Amino acid sequence: MPSSKRTLVVAGGGGGDALAALMVARALGLAPSEVAYATIVWERTIYDPSPGPRGPDDFATIKPVGAHNHAIDGTSALKDPAVTFIPRLADTFGVSYYLMNIRRGAKHVRDQVRELHALHGFEEILVVDVGGDILARGDEETLRSPTADGLALAGMYDAPVDVHVAVAGFGLDGELTTAHMDDINTELPLDTDYAEPQPITEAIASDFMSAFEWLPSEVSGMTCAAALGYRGTAEIRSSGMKVELTDESPLVRTYPFEAVWQRNEIAQACRDTTSLDETEAIVRSFGQTSELDYERRSAKNLEPRGDTTAPAILDEEQIETLDVCLMMYCDEAKGEGIDYLSIRRIAKVLGLDRNQLTQFRSYLASAYPDRLNPPVWVC
């Protein structure tokens, strides 16, 4: 029976986590009428050329709520040329999302949470992270997104209600090694309110899988694929990280906030931040690279974008060449034990920009319908 508790479900990393929040709420049996959603808005530079998360001033249309909050629905949009997929998620699945404005640091997020509690009277908060890097200590060399996770946790500190942290697709973001995951499983207790891991079932995954036709999220998509029965090794991200789709991948594990808070040292250090600059300095003090640093480097490598609605520019000969190159790469990958490539990995391997990727993906869907189930390509 669905839980009747009024719950604020927070997508800890934005992007794919915003979709994962919907899947996790279903898996945990939360009553749809009692759930409100909140998310960070932070897209990759191929879609949003300005590094960093977005605040309300970056939107051309967004609905103010109270003194500290703004709601994103299907009519919301960032100012050109930036693109976010949160409005389309809201429209597709009939929800709205409150914008967590981490640009102003953890203190402001806490103000937002308190105001939302006053407005809605929710009884608990559920922070959702796909991949599980939110459970890291902060000194792991494999971390790639410590800023968003640290601020998401720090923003929930001293919340007016109980907070839980839910993780799906454990290990599928490639940011935790097997040793890290073993340590987490040994050291972190599961939440007594959600004692047993709950699966994202095949039925749930089927309801959401179509979103990955347009949503560029690898980890949430891989989690869905695992729920649909995909098993084996996937190569993801620009760097070609290797992750394993296993029987454990679709499970949702829920942890008490206090245990995660005590473990995540970056989040603790970010507790009193009031800006992104402060947060970045803290992340660097742990020997980590901020997501913004990566995006700044990436933005420099992007050519002038021009009209983001411009038609794709691949001709038939180029598409045929890309097809041959992809098949050659797949043959090499299979020889190294790789079963799947993510769409993002294909874009990197073939050197495709956003418009080219859209066109080539459409070609793959038509030419190889049995091998493409976004974001998964079967080698």
Structure confidence by residue, pLDDT tens digits, 313-327: 899 999 999 999 999
Q: Please state, in angstroms and rounded to a whole number, the distance separating the CA atoms of residues 67 and 101.
A: 13
Please state the rounded mean pLDDT for residues 27-39.
97
- Binned at pLDDT 50, 70 and 90, residue 312 comes out as low
AA letter at 104:
R
Tokens of 132: 């599980």
Write down the pLDDT at residue 2: 55
Respond yes or no on whether the N-terminal peptide bond of residue 56 is cis (omega within 30° of 0). Answer: no
- Say if strands 162-168 and 251-256 run parallel, antiparallel, or are unpaired: antiparallel
Give per-residue pLDDT as tens, 259-311.
Answer: 999 999 999 999 999 999 999 999 999 999 888 888 888 777 665 444 444 45
What single string gives the DSSP state of each residue in 101-162? -GGGHHHHHHHHHHHHHHHH--SEEEEEEESSGGGS-S--TT-S-HHHHHHHHHTTTT-SSE
Whole-number pLDDT of residue 58? 97
Report the pLDDT value the prediction gives residue 294, as an integer from 0 to 100.
84
For position 234, what pLDDT does the model report? 98
User: In sequence order, what are the residues at sequence separation of 6 or more whose Cβ sits closer than 8 angstroms to the Cβ of residue 324?
Assistant: none
* Cβ density class 35-58: b for 16+ within 10 Å, e for less: bbbbbbbbbbbbbbbbbbbbbbeb
Question: Could you give the CA distance from residue 223 to residue 257 in angstroms, rounded to a whole number?
Answer: 23
Residue 200 — very low, low, confident or very high, per pLDDT cuts 50/70/90?
very high
The pTM of the full predicted model, rounded to 2 decimals, is: 0.94
| Summary mean pLDDT of the chain | 94
What is the average per-residue pLDDT within 77-102? 96
